[in-house]
Amino acid sequence: MTPYEIIARKRDGRELSAEEIQFFVRAFLAGEVKDYQMSAFLMAVFVRGMTDREVSALTRAYLETGDVMDLCDLPGLKIDKHSTGGVGDKVSILLAPLVASCGVVVPMISGRGLGHTGGTLDKLESIPGFKTRLSVQEFKKLLKDHGLAMMGQTEEIVPADKRIYALRDVTATVESIPLITASIMSKKIAEGIDGLVLDVKVGSGAFMSELNRARELARSLIRVGKEFGKQVVACLTNMDQPLGNKIGNWLEVEECLDGFHGKAPQDLMDLTYRLAAHMLVLGRKAGALEEAQEMSRAAIASGRAFQKFLELAGAQGADVSVLEKPEAYPVARFRVPLEAWKAGYLSRMHTREIGLAAVELGAGRLRAEDPVDAQAGMILFKKVGNQVQKGEPLLEIRTNKETVIEPVVQRLKNALVITEHPPVQQPLVLEEILR
């Protein structure tokens, strides 16, 4: 068995054995399979796909390159949530403390912004002092003391995914169901969880723009999760417009702070309550979704969820005073409105373009090593279906880079569609797959 033969077999649409997949992944990490060979393999998988057996073997091969956390000594079920990535998706920051405040242990390992999508880690790091680089021991201690911990992927957790993801990002092989499945599920299984709620995004701001592809992805993720003994449910949710009204690292934290006081936009609150309800049911804190949804609302209304967030942020080194008085946070130097160029209804938002505009403003990165600007981003004043008057502000951009203002305004203008008639409104939760 040589790397060449394995690539050729996949290129020709043949099924690889678990041994071949394991050999290839291991040899890549050992430096015996080169980046260009792995890139060819990834493209062959992208084009030819993989059978269920191959996807399971790839997930296992990834998993075996790192450690699996053992959380058995912590009492109770450990439940996490994972989103496949979107624009303005800040749910984790609101959701994890909420669910932990209801007694479910939440070990959350999050990622950074990727392409047009934002990442929870970048958002958390916009809070002064918030430490996301933790050792496994620190992570476990936080879970023991607070029932919640939020950190980034470490060298010990699925190193194969870290290296392979970087190649996928630059070889146009991200949007592959087998590759996404192995990438997400290996990391989640390595967390030592008992159950997982997946938020599979669908639409112009998601990696899967069509419902049937997103459904296929959700089924693949659930199938692999079950094979590894995890309880997994999936919500397919709308990403044809950004979630909430704020995009950008600190701006999104600010919107979550509103959420902790029950004052965030409706779509953000509704999705948070729904995902929380699934986590509470999986964590056996509620018998049914309706009851769990009520528990979630009560956790916000009583201030318990916010207290848990402050407790966690303090334990992870953050300056909590800024979370209590967010108005003290510095604001970007340039604030520029985009005004409606005609009257009508905002009927479409090309969400990937909006995400890329946020990246250009400084909120995301073009290369993995780029820094992000915590203050950059935008605030939406109008969402799909809203009526607009000519000259009315649709949004405000915020940046510290004067040179990007003009191209970004133009890009955003092209990303928004105003029509004479109102659009048909899409539901936020499109589908739920519970088994």
Q: Which is nearer to ligand URA, 120 or 241 (CB)?
A: 120
Catalytic residue chosen out of the listed positions 90, 112, 123, 168 = 168
Task: Write the interaction track for ligand URA spanning residues 288-317; mark x where CB under 6 A is met and - where it is not.
Answer: ------------------------------
**Phi, psi for residue 13 in degrees, rounded to 5:** 80, 20
Give the Cα separation of 222 and 242 in Å (integer).
25
Assess whether 421 carries a catalytic annotation: no
Contacting range for ligand URA; rule: CB under 6 A; set: 58-66, 94-102, 136-144, 178-186: 178-186
Give the Cα separation of 88 and 123 in Å (integer).
11
The string of DSSP letters for 117-181 reads: B--HHHHHHTSTT------HHHHHHHHHHHSEEEEE--TTS-HHHHHHHHHHHHTT--S-HHHHH
Q: If we measure between CA atoms, which residue out of 94, 146, 169 comes closest to residue 124?
A: 94
CB of 176 to ligand URA, least distance (A): 8
Note the residue count of the chain.
435
Give the Cα separation of 326 and 310 in Å (integer).
13
Beta strands in 261-392 (DSSP E): 334-339, 344-349, 377-380, 387-388
Q: Which is nearer to ligand URA, 146 or 352 (CB)?
A: 352
Q: If we measure between CA atoms, which residue out of 85, 129, 75 comes closest to residue 105?
A: 75
Rule CB under 6 A: choose which of 92, 101, 173, 183 binds ligand URA.
Answer: 183
Q: Does 177 bind ligand URA (CB under 6 A)?
A: no
- Interacting positions 56-85 with ligand URA (CB under 6 A): 84-85
Q: Which is nearer to ligand URA, 111 or 362 (CB)?
A: 111
Q: Which is nearer to ligand URA, 85 or 97 (CB)?
A: 85
- Interacting positions 95-114 with ligand URA (CB under 6 A): 111
Rule CB under 6 A: choose which of 38, 127, 184, 346 binds ligand URA.
Answer: 184
Question: Sign (positive/negative) of CA torsion 298, 302, 304, 306?
Answer: positive
Assess whether 92 carries a catalytic annotation: no
Name the maximum alpha-carbon separation found in the chain: 66
Count the helix, strand and coil residues of the chain and give each as a percent rounded to the nearest 5: 45, 15, 35
CB of 294 to ligand URA, least distance (A): 31
Q: How many residues bind ligand URA (CB under 6 A)?
A: 7
Q: Which is nearer to ligand URA, 206 or 305 (CB)?
A: 206
Give the Cα separation of 54 and 182 in Å (integer).
10
Assess whether 187 carries a catalytic annotation: yes
Contacting range for ligand URA; rule: CB under 6 A; set: 35-43, 101-109, 118-126, 177-185: 177-185
CB of 161 to ligand URA, least distance (A): 7
The contact set with ligand URA (CB under 6 A) reads 84-85, 111, 179-180, 183-184
Q: Which residues form the catalytic set?
A: 82, 161, 168, 183, 187
